[in-house]
Amino acid sequence: MKPGKEGRRPGFPGSGTALALGAALGAAALYILAAAEEPGAAFRAFFLSPFARPTVLANLIEQAAAPCLCALGTALVFRSGDFNLGGEGQAYAGGALSVLALLAAPSLPGPAGLAGGLAAGAFAGAFVALPSALSRRNLGADVLLSTFLVSQAVVLVLDWAIAGPLRDPASNLIATPVVEAAYRLPRLAPPSWLSFAPVLAAAAAVALDRFLRSSRRGLELTLFGRNPDFAVSMGFRVRAYAFWPLLASGALNGLAGALLALGANGRAVRGMTGGIGWNGISIALLAGNDPRLILPAALFFSWLETGSRQASILAGISVDVGTVAKALVLLFATARFLGTARRKGTA
Amino acid sequence: MNPMETLAAEALAIALPILLAALGGLFTEAAGILNVALEGLIVAGAFAFAVAAEGTGSLVLGVAAALACSAALALLAAAAADRLSANPFVAALAVNLLVAGAVGLASEHVFGTKGVVPLDGLLSPRVELGFLSGIPFLGPVLFRQRGISYLLAAACAIAAVAYSATPFGLRLRALGMKEGSLRIAGVDPRAVRYWAYAASGAACALAGIALARSIGAWVPNIASGRGWIALVVVYLGRKRPAGLLAAALGFGLLFALSNAAQSVLSVPPELVLALPYAATAAAALSGGARTRGRTDRG
Amino acid sequence: MAAEPVLEVRDLSKTFPSTGTVALSGVSLSLSAGEIHAVVGENGAGKSTLARILAGLDRPDSGRILVRGREVRFRRPRDAERLGIGMVPQQSLLAPGLSVAENVVLGHEPRLLGILLDRRRAYYETALASANFSFPLDPGSRISRLSPPERREAEIVRALARGGDVLILDEPTSILTESEAETLYGLLKRLRDAGASVILISHRVREVLSAADRITILRNGSVVDTILPAETDDCDLALRMASSASCFTADGPAESGGQAVFRFLGANFRDSERVTLRDLGFTVRRGEIYGIAALAGNGLGALEDLACGERICDSGAVELLGRNLVDWPRDELRASALSYLPTDRDGRGLCLGATILENLAARIGSPGDWSRRGRAARRAEAFRLLEDAGGRAPPDAPIDMLSGGNRQRVLCVRELGTFTPAVLAANPTQGLDPRAQEETWNRLRSRAREGAGILLLTSSVDELFSVADRVAVLYRGRLTELGIRTGSVTAEAVTRLLTGAAA
């Protein structure tokens, strides 16, 4: 199976997206109806409370930023014909290294330190992706497996490091010490955690969109993703296209991790990424790997998460409802339907 | 039992569920589908078994529930891919996530907790196979296992035979190599594909049951990466049952060794767990494991 | 001819709802026992649809199918098979990793104890069936190890293994060399003489004329006529197939003696298929079409890879425009120096899944101008180029929607639409109907007149003589130059060289 190589499927474009959204929301609603003691309150908590207070809404927007960056990286790699399944470890490494770098450099001016921390995070993410990118370019090795496996190993090593040598003994949390307050993401609207991160994510989305749709290299990358032999015969720089998208994706994941670490936490907490890599993949797929739709999709996911958290606090509904809803999004995100269920079996 | 025998016996006990799940992965892989849902299917099987066996007190009903649940989830992914033209790889990823969420929800309602549930009655006892267990080295290693391990070994053998020596296995392989070869022979490739998914789910369900019975408890995330390792075993084993056996045994030994290292040398468990991933990553990075077979032109 | 036809179709019609194309309208034909009945037509005339319906792979919208006088309805391939009809599809449908026997018994596996596959009986049944046709096939050998003609034999065995006596072959020789094709036709005649009936679908006029007992001509989904081979000749038959075409004529040789474009200097190359190119030395100059012909397995593919820079020769050198090909940056090479029509059209020449515009933009347009205006200009240019080429497809449609001939048109527009000093054309008209073939040839000829140096690699003697100014033959990795095409270089001479008879 090769993600980029499948032909265009018939059926209404976006019908899968509609089905995915419908199934996710329907499942959440059904569960609330069946399990909640007061369905009405639970409904309000799940679906509406994220919008009820500006602080919650601002946090919702802030929380969409990091997964959005992950999704952009996923989409870029997808366009080049592969899947980066290592988002989790890349983001974790990004978060950890950004904190470590800033702990080691306590006396920089605030913005310079923050920029340096984010850069360190992007570097760490790219570094985790580097072996997979190198082996893809030089040996044609399988990215799907190698990114996942490297990432799993990195996650476990970081889990150990944060619980062991890097741990702040003074804290109850299994976490590193907190970085200087000046290095943390500036809060634009306290008490919410809203920072410039959503703007960064939006800017990245616009940049990726322009690159893919209106640049020669973007077209070449897309064509390479669909048919590498063709790209070779057209004289494209295929070695670059086999390498840089994956590295850039790693950097975006690392940057996302750094944003998480330098935001609300201000430190690297054990297991801090909490499935952000997988969310990034789901969001990219929900958006059909179109950079223009990735930020809205990320906001939708953030809403699901905020809603399920609010419902668990306010109405005692399990947060796993959000996980199920996200799973259904993923299940149907790539579907096309309405009258096209029976495809002609002619290849 | 001397330490070598203990180690070998443990390696075998660890390898068998992985091998069975890997054979399940082989069914779909041969049919040309990368099934990354193995992890979720194992968890679903183990959970359904724990709930049904604990609830009804019947092991048979527990096994039936596990088979039905995992096969149904596998078929859900298959149907999303077939009826709705969803990307099969993504649909399988979704099954993993769906199991994680749904099991969490159900566990809270059934067991009242999202945590560990001891199920003492389900622990599979050790069975010594008469005089066989007296054979030097082989006896303690092969014939003093838990009862479930013998059943697992039998299931693995059946799966391997089904793959390589039955019409069903032949059709699976033909489907993966050239779909049209089935169509022209009057066989519906879609039916074969659904069967491949169902068989894959059933194998994972049995692997999940074995995990639950070997510890006598339901543990969240009971598979803890075994499904992914099984997938890697499929590729390291070069898609041949004998190769899968070798790769699974290799992993079993690696895990057994790392468990021993953990207790003897007090190595942190995270680093021990990272080892198989790092080792497999090295294999994948050097181009040893591939998710895509070479396509035959002409 | 026998009195009662074995197989007869009356007023068969079929429309594909997804595209709205009418594949067949009111087609009738009858197949007598013991005849080879050819169905000829251009690409898209409905030949393959007819074959698929007769094999039970597609269902007609209306019309009747009669087998030995009894009306039948095919819902699945097995229905056709029960009545003794077997099909050999155009593209091989053998599972490459399985053995011949496993492919033959697939779907009808003999069983052991009710559940296991009985390998010995599968082997035996297959051996028996191939012995019936006196094929020397080993049922145990893997399909991927067989030669193309052997694969065809395996497919015939599969089609008729269960007692069938009606064989439908869809373009059976498209992957075969001319000599392999002759062997296949010999075999079909033996089958016919043993009482089988054959429907042979083809667009190779000459082959059909020598092999068929009767010929039905299809054009745009309708039957034009059913005739005997003696009532026609190759030019007449080609004309009657064509919706609008004239029988081709060749231009005279162009002036030569210009600057060297392609130059092979004692190139040696060992291919993975164990064909070794030995000491290749020749020069293609500006303004000429240099044609090299070879049958499959003689190193033409390796030569193509060397000439486009995909692979590097072991010793010696390949120069393009006076510069070693290894020293050319690939992007600069393809942007301004070399146009390339590869043999593997869909794999290497085009990007399936992408739109027509994207396939065109992979080459045309100024590489730097990606502003909104630049993109709009390129789009307009794509429209114009498509229209010039007679295409009516919108540029935003996926290229997969086009037929083989139209895909080749897009490829030609991209590669030959702008002038480059070097052109490499490898089997540029394989699988095309006469009209698309003539178009492609004309484009090559006009590029040569404008001063490009064209290296034509082909496995068709027809093509070699229709467009090449100078000709050469590659046999077992060695090149024999025949010089300028004149009356003294005859097709017979080339054919002898190709098959090694004159070596």
Which range, of A58-62, A129-133, C386-390, averages the lowest pLDDT? C386-390
Q: Would you call C353 and A236 a contact, using CB atoms and an 8 Å cutoff?
A: no
Distance of alpha carbon C199 from alpha carbon C273, whole angstroms: 34
Buried b (16+ CB within 10 A) or exposed e, C81-93: bbbbbbbbbbebb
What pLDDT, on a 0 to 100 scale, did the predictor assign at position B223? 87
Are residue C236 and residue C271 in the same domain, yes or no?
no
Look over chain A and give the mean of its residue pLDDT values, rounded to a whole number: 86
Q: Which residues of C touch A214 (CB under 8 A)?
A: 370-372, 375
**If you search the block for the tokens 């594949």, which residue do you land on?**
C23
Q: Check whether B291 has a pLDDT greater than 70.
A: no
Closest CA to C292 of C445, C451, C498, C446: C498
The pLDDT tens digits for A133-192 are 999 998 888 788 889 889 989 999 999 999 888 888 888 888 888 888 888 888 888 888
User: Does A345 lie at the interface with C, CB-CB under 8 angstroms?
Assistant: no
Q: Is the pLDDT of residue C451 over 90?
A: no
A236 to chain C: closest CA residue: C331
A194-200 own/partner pairs: CB under 8 Å, 24+ apart:
A194/A58, A194/A59, A194/A61, A194/A62, A195/A62, A195/A263, A197/A62, A197/A65, A197/A66, A197/A259, A197/A263, A198/A61, A198/A62, A198/A64, A198/A65, A198/A68, A200/A65, A200/A69, A200/A259
C304: closest chain A residue by CA = A233
3-state secondary structure of C84: coil
State the residue for tokens 């009747």.
C64
Q: In this predicted structure, what is the pLDDT of residue C20?
A: 58
B105 to A341: CB separation less than 8 angstroms, yes or no: no
- Report DSSP letters for B79-148, one per residue: HHHHHS---HHHHHHHHHHHHHHHHHHHHHHHTS-SS-EE-GGGPPPB---GGGGGSTTHHHHHSSSBHH
Same structural domain for residues C152 and C88? yes
Give the range among A79-93, A311-325, B128-142 with minimum mean pLDDT. Answer: B128-142
Residue B37 main-chain phi, psi, to 5 deg: -90, 0
Distance in Å, alpha carbon of C154 to nearest chain A alpha carbon: 22
In chain A, what residues touch B292 (CB-CB under 8 Å)?
1-2, 142
User: According to DSSP H, which parts of C194-283 are helical?
Assistant: 205-211, 234-241
Among B29, B35, B73, B97, which would you mutate to test the A interface (most chain A Cβ atoms within 10 Å of its Cβ)? B97
Tell me the residues of C at the A interface, defined by beta carbons under 8 Å apart. 18, 308, 310, 330-335, 340, 342, 344, 347-354, 358, 361-363, 367-368, 370-372, 375, 398, 400
- The shortest C-alpha distance from A340 to chain C (Å) reads 10
| pLDDT tens by residue, C337-355 | 899 999 888 888 898 888 8
Tell me the pLDDT band of A12, cut-offs 50, 70 and 90: low
From B105, B108, B291, residue closest to A324, measured CB to CB: B105
pLDDT tens readout for residues C179-228: 778 888 888 898 888 888 999 998 777 788 888 999 999 888 889 889 99
- Mutation site, A216, A220, A344, interface C, largest C CB count within 10 A: A216
| The pLDDT of residue A108 | 82
| C375/A234 Cβ within 8 A | no
- Which pLDDT tens digit goes with each residue over C55-86? 888 889 999 999 988 898 888 888 888 888 99
Nearest to B52 by CA among B67, B74, B41: B67
Among partner residues A16, A141, A333, which is closest to B287 by beta-carbon distance? A141
**Do A83 and B89 count as a contact with CB atoms less than 8 A apart?**
yes
Nearest CA-CA distance, residue A327 and chain B, Å: 5
Whether the CB of B221 is below 8 Å from some CB of chain A: the reply is no
B/e letters for A6-20, b = 16+ CB within 10 Å, e = fewer, are eeebebeeebbbebb
Question: What are the two backbone dihedrals, phi and then psi, of residue A274, each rounded to the nearest 5 degrees?
Answer: 50, 45
Please report, to the nearest 10 degrees, the dihedral formed by the alpha carbons of residues B61, B66, B67, B71 taken in order. Answer: 140
* Count of structural domains, chain C: 2
In which band, very low, low, confident or very high, does the pLDDT at C367 lie, cut at 50, 70 and 90?
low
B30 touches chain A (CB under 8 A): no
C82 → chain B, closest CA residue: B186
Domain ranges of chain A: 10-333
pLDDT above 90 as % of chain C: 20
Shortest CB distance from A226 goes to which of C344, C349, C351? C351
What is the pLDDT averaged over residues C321-338?
Answer: 86
Chains that touch B (3 or more CB pairs under 8 A): A, C
Domain assignment present for residue C376? The answer is yes
The 3-state secondary structure of C98-114 reads CEHHHHHHCCCCCEECC
Q: Are residues C170 and C290 in the same domain?
A: no
Q: Does B183 touch chain C (CB under 8 A)?
A: yes
**Band (A4; pLDDT cuts 50, 70, 90):** very low
CB atoms within 10 A of CB A316: 14
The H-assigned helical ranges of B111-240 are 138-142, 147-165, 167-177, 179-184, 189-215, 226-236
Q: Do C398 and A7 touch (CB under 8 A)?
A: yes
Please report whether residue C246 resides in a domain.
Answer: no
Percent of chain B with pLDDT over 70: 96
Question: Rounded to an integer, what distance in angstroms lies between the CA atom of residue C282 and that of residue C262?
Answer: 8
Does residue B15 belong to the interface with chain C, where contact is any CB pair within 8 Å?
A: no
Domain that holds residue C281: 260-498
Range in A26-35, A225-234, B149-158, C419-428 with the lowest mean pLDDT? A26-35
Instruction: Verify that C291 and C190 share a domain, yes or no.
Output: no
Q: Which residues of A touch C332 (CB under 8 A)?
A: 235
Task: Say yes or no: A220 contacts chain C, CB-CB below 8 A.
Answer: yes
Q: What is the pLDDT of residue C248?
A: 35
pLDDT in tens, C123-163: 999 998 888 777 788 999 999 888 878 888 899 999 888 87
Confidence of residue B115 (pLDDT cuts 50, 70, 90): confident
Closest partner residue to C331 (CB to CB) among A4, A215, A236 is A236
B118-122, B213-217, C284-288: least confidently modelled range: B118-122
C304 and C224 inside one domain: no
Give residue A336's pLDDT band: very low, low, confident or very high (50, 70, 90): low
CB A280 within 8 A of CB A67: yes
B173 and chain C in contact, CB less than 8 A: yes
Average pLDDT, chain C: 81
Looking at the predicted structure, is the pLDDT value of residue A296 above 80? yes
What pLDDT shows up at residue C38? 93
More confident residue, B224 or B162: B162
Contact C307, A233 (CB under 8 A): no
> pLDDT tens digits, residue range A237-294?
889 999 999 999 999 999 999 999 998 888 999 988 888 988 999 899 888 889 999 9
Closest CA of chain C from B247, distance in Å: 23
CATH top-level class of A10-333: mainly alpha
Contact A237 C330 (CB under 8 A): yes
pLDDT at A51: 86
Give mean pLDDT, residues A14-22. 78
Chain B residues with beta carbon closer than 8 angstroms to that of C148 = 298
**Distance of residue B184 Cα from the nearest chain C Cα, in angstroms:** 6
Count interface pairs B-C at CB distance under 8 A: 76
CA of A12 vs chain C CAs: smallest distance (Å): 14
Residue C272 in this model has a pLDDT that exceeds 60:
no
Q: Using CA coordinates, name the residue in chain A closest to B112.
A: A318
Top-ranked range on mean pLDDT: pick from A291-295, A330-334, B109-113, B223-227: A291-295
Residue C475 has pLDDT above 80, yes or no: no
Q: What is the pLDDT of residue A215?
A: 84
pLDDT attached to residue C19:
53
| Confidence category of residue A337, pLDDT binned at 50, 70, 90 | low
- With cut-offs at 50, 70 and 90, classify the pLDDT of residue C369: low
A/B interface, count of CB pairs below 8 Å: 175
Question: Could you report the predicted ipTM of this complex, rounded to two decimals?
Answer: 0.84
Domain range summary for chain B, segments of one domain joined by +: 20-223
pLDDT score of A5 more than 80: no
Average pLDDT of the residues in C272-297? 80
Contact C351 A233 (CB under 8 A): no
Does the pLDDT at position C250 exceed 50? no
Subunits next to A (3 or more Cβ pairs <8 Å) are B, C
Which candidate from A150, A320, A331 shows the least CB-CB separation from B94? A331
A-chain CB neighbours of C361 within 8 Å are 219
Lookup: tokens for B209: 């049951």
Q: Is the domain of C417 the same as that of C347?
A: yes
Q: CA A223, A229, A234, A240 torsion: positive or negative?
A: positive
- Rounded CA-CA distance C20/C26 in Å is 17
Indicate whether A345 pLDDT > 50: no
Q: Best residue in C58, C78, C94 to probe B by mutation, most B CBs within 10 Å?
A: C94
Contacts of C370 in chain A (CB under 8 A): 214-216
Cα C282 off chain centre by: 28
Residues in chain B within 8 Å Cβ distance of A333? 86, 90
CATH number of the domain at C457, please: 3.40.50.300
